Amino acid sequence: MVARRRLGWLGPAIVGLGVAVAIAGVWIVVTGRPKAGDVIDTIEVDPRTSIVVRAEDGGDRNFVELHERSPANEDVLLWQALVPPYAGRRGAPGIAWSDKTVSVRVIRDGRAEVFALTRHDAAKLGGFKLAPGKGPVVKQTSEPVTLCDQVRSYELVAGVGWRQLVVIDLATGEGLWKQDLPGDLIEDAGFDNGAVWVRQRGARRAFRVIDGSEVSTGPQSSKSL
């Protein structure tokens, strides 16, 4: 287990001046341009609320939208935000959320990052660089990307020859713990009995969600991503 990093969304070691300027430049509440394109994925938050990820029409960035079903059963767009290229895909979301925060997994300059918005109005909270001591990341085309239990986000980061699990407190943006994993493909991941588990080469390892300590996996669980 790796010791906790007590750094929030705006921690100086995570969000330096350059990152802050970049966030201010690319993460905006959209007022008319650029233009949203096709839907990439829809993530159900609850029976009335969903998060929709769209392509940017004519660009390589993405839009994140919060939708709510009205009492008249109409779809209402609450807000829309423009973010750097999205790291998730249909069936493997790069989105996590709590009652106050929505986080989005992105890839920028070959590196993995998490950006955070307030759930109420998409105001930017800041960002978190993942695996800063590792090399460039690869876009995960078959592996899980982000898991969420509405308290923490569990970010599975992949690069050539390495994998890492990074856990973030959604309320504060603090890095709680991380675990270096073998470089093999992550076949599946999920939650079971207070632990998050990852399966590689058919073998499953599980870590307590509270502190990242490794625990016995026991029988294979059906609670996967």
Domains and CATH numbers, the chain: 17-24+85-215 (2.40.128.630)
Q: How confident is the model at residue 216, as a pLDDT?
A: 80
Q: How confident is the model at residue 217, as a pLDDT?
A: 67
Rounded to two decimals, the pTM is 0.84
The closest of 26, 3, 43, 154 to 84, measured between CA atoms, is: 26
Q: How confident is the model at residue 34, as a pLDDT?
A: 87
Q: How confident is the model at residue 33, as a pLDDT?
A: 77
Q: How confident is the model at residue 9, as a pLDDT?
A: 76
Low-confidence ranges of the chain (pLDDT < 50): 1-4, 12-32, 219-225
